[in-house]
Structure 1
Amino acid sequence: MGVVVQLSDARDPRASLAPLLALVEEDMGHVNRIILDRARSNVELIPDLARHLIDSGGKRLRPMLAVAAAKLCGYRGEGHVRLAASVEFMHTATLLHDDVVDESDLRRGKTAARLLWGNEASVLVGDFLLGQAFKMMVDVGSLGCLRILSDAAAVIAEGEVMQLITAKNTETTEDDYLAVIDAKTAALFAAAAEVGAVIANRPKSEAAGLRSYGRNLGLAFQLVDDALDYYGEQSMLGKSVGDDFREGKITLPVVLCYRRGNAIERAFWQRTLQDGEIGEDDLHEAMGLMQKHNALNDTMERARHYGAIARDALAIFPDCDPRAALLDAVAFCVDRPF
Structure 2
Amino acid sequence: MPKKEKSARYRGVYRVQGKTGVSYGIDYVHPATGQRIQKIVKTASSESEAFDIRCVELADAKRDAKNLTYGIAAKSKPVLFEDTVDAYLDWAKENKKSWETDFHRSKALKEGFKGKLLSDINPFMCEKYKMARAKAIAKKSVNKELSLARQAIDKAIEWGKYDGTNPFDKVARFKVTKGRKPGSLTPEQVQNIMDEIAHPVKRDMVAFDFYAGWRISEIRNLKWEDVDLEAGAAWIVEPKNGQSVKVELSNAALSIIKKQDRKGPYVFCFKNGMPFKTNLHKTITNAAKRAGVDLPPRKAWHILRRTWASMMLQNGCDVETLRVLGNWKDYSMPMWYADAGSPEHKKRILNRMPELGQESKVMEIEEKRVTV
Ranked by relative contact order (alpha carbons within 8 Å, sequence separation 6 or more), the top structure is: 1
Q: Which has the larger radius of gyration?
A: 2
Which protein is richer in helix relative to its size?
Answer: 1
User: TM above 0.5, one fold?
Assistant: no
Category of TM-score, reference length = shorter chain: under 0.3
Q: Structure 1-normalised TM-score?
A: 0.24
Give the alignment's TM-score, normalised by structure 2: 0.22
Higher strand share: 2
